Amino acid sequence: MAVPATVTMLLIVAAVLPIVVIRTAEARAFFVFGDSLVDSGNNNYLATTARADSPPYGVDYPTRRPTGRFSNGLNIPDLISERIGQSEPPLPYLSPELTGRRLLNGANFASAGIGVLNDTERAMRGTNGGCSAELQRAAALFNPQLDEVLSELNREIGRDVFVGVNTAQMHNDFVTNPGAFGFATSKVACCGQGPYNGLGLCTPASNLCPNRNLYAFWDAFHPSEKANRIIVEQMFSGTAEYMKPMNLTTILQLDART
């Protein structure tokens, strides 16, 4: 069912990654809510240890400087912004630069450290180089129930407003078969310390790989920019296995007709 131009489209992602896209007469405003997977710098303005405002974060960002993104370069909202034709991604809502016409672009309300589980990455709970089977089962139980909740909400509203994004499956694809996506490894993070570079955040004293494109994970928790690009591509073109009830390309096509 087509979504009217004035109605928001909310993406609920298995990793707690809600994203709202609102179409206006001139362009699409983009509002982001979530955790460190989509934080573009809000935690720079908060008293928290969950920060990405020092090197080597941002080593592959266009400015080659840390911005508060938990990535070596661009994150998921950056890449979605590119695909929907925004001149720049939405700024952190705490940024003093979020004024004037920039407000028409939307805003990013994500904050690192608000995730539900923080103890699945391999170094803490895994065995023999694999993820924690117990916690993986917990996620496998949660995600189908989330799909059903979203379907019920859409039925109550009478239109497809909520879209579920199966980021768990998107990650599992390149975790189980990294070579198919051009990665050398999905077991070891590019930047970090401890087993598999899997303890804590990345710091100037951390191990740092020379070629980030060969690693599925940038640090102990977050995909590399290359992996983020794979995730966003699935958001736009993925089948029902990844996007329910439709992908972003279909959403934007329906939106353009209304």
Give the catalytic positions in this structure: 36, 219, 222
Residue whose structure tokens are 């929907």? 84
Distances (CA, A) of 142 to 2, 61, 83: 28, 34, 30
Q: Which residues contact 174 (CB under 8 A, 6 or more apart)?
A: 180, 181, 183, 186, 216, 227, 230
Nearest by Cα to 93 from 64, 68, 73, 60: 68
Residue whose token pair is 């362009």: 27
Query: How far is residue 91's CA from residue 78's CA, in Å, rounded to a whole number?
Result: 10
Q: Which helix (H) or strand (E) holds 157?
A: helix 133-157
Cα–Cα distance between 69 and 35 in angstroms, integer?
A: 11
Answer yes or no: are the C-beta atoms of 255 and 248 closer than 8 Å.
no
Using alpha carbons, select from 26, 110, 102 the residue that is nearest to residue 69: 110
Phi/psi of residue 131, nearest 5 degrees? -75, 165
Q: How many residues does the chain have?
A: 258
